[in-house]
Structure 1
Amino acid sequence: MEWLPPYSPDLNPIEHKWAGVKAIGEKRCSVDELFMEHVECVKLY
């Protein structure tokens, strides 16, 4: 077996993006606002 480091979400950049997506989803906004937030997130990549 190969040793793997313990899971560390703070070091994984995608976890920070998912946290942002979850925060957006928790805001009660319209579908149009959610879509525009998604577009802005995609532009960052």
Structure 2
Amino acid sequence: MAKAPTAQAVQGNGRLVQAQARVAKAWYGAYAQDETLMQCTARTA
């Protein structure tokens, strides 16, 4: 039988997910800014 995950393990996993979400948000934010910049440049060119 598989052991049910302990509260500590779940908490640790939640922290990992939060950290990954932060990284993804930061990366996406930079990418979105880049996209906007490219579109503006394309429009003015």
User: The TM-score by the shorter chain falls in which range?
Assistant: 0.3 to 0.5
TM-score of the pair, normalised by structure 1: 0.38
Higher relative contact order structure (alpha carbons within 8 Å, sequence separation ≥ 6): 1
